[in-house]
A and B are shown apart, each in its own frame.
Chain A
Amino acid sequence: AQKVTQAQTEISVVEKEDVTLDCVYETRDTTYYLFWYKQPPSGELVFLIRRNSFDEQNEISGRYSWNFQKSTSSFNFTITASQVVDSAVYFCALRDSNYQLIWGAGTKLIIKP
């Protein structure tokens, strides 16, 4: 069965610290897609990144980077030099042969000034 686990319910760091959000997934499919979304306090969900199972290259976008490791079924998200505006709930999600997204429970990230 498909499953996404975000074991960190809440993380609190001081501004400018680096922080990594963990995501572990389960699927029997060889073809699948992984996603990260950000939900700021205002509520809307913002798409951040999509990764397919055949592309294990790590990705960097500004202060954001993603580490995809199939060997450990993980797709971790790192924010470098965190800022207060990064405070949000972050969701990891999986889509395989099933049509719908399987969502993690989310990690609430608090960046203190």
Chain B
Amino acid sequence: SQTIHQWPATLVQPVGSPLSLECTVEGTSNPNLYWYRQAAGRGLQLLFYSVGIGQISSEVPQNLSASRPQDRQFILSSKKLLLSDSGFYLCAWSLSGTGQPQHFGDGTRLSIL
């Protein structure tokens, strides 16, 4: 069966520091991969999605970036974090094809001080 791993679970970073969150999927090939952000008490905002290695689409202009160096690895990065980057970050995968449900990792709680 497929599993998704996301780490770290929590992270406290100072303003201006870099960021790297990693997500890996097991048990499937060529999944679609997604990064979401969820502000406290709010819904989900899609940040990036990827349909293949090296293929990244950005939904929201910001100081974050994403990379997919391997088929089942998705990385969310920033060179300089802002206070507004605080939130709950969720990685998800789905099979390719219309209407496939997305399956989520456990999330990373990021606090910027």
Interface residues of A (CB under 8 A from B): 31, 33, 35, 37, 42-47, 50, 52, 91, 95, 99-101, 103-106
Which residues of chain A come closer than 8 Å to B104, judged between CB atoms? 37, 44-47
B107 touches A43 (CB 8 A): yes
Chain B interfacial residues counted at CB < 8 A: 19
> Can you sample 16 A-B contacts with CB below 8 Å?
A35-B101, A37-B104, A43-B88, A44-B106, A45-B44, A46-B104, A47-B101, A47-B102, A50-B101, A91-B43, A100-B59, A103-B44, A104-B43, A105-B43, A106-B42, A106-B43
Contact residues of B between 96 and 111, Cβ < 8 Å to A: 98-99, 101-107, 109
Q: With A35-B101, A95-B99, A99-B49 given, is the CB distance from A45 to B43 under 8 Å?
A: no
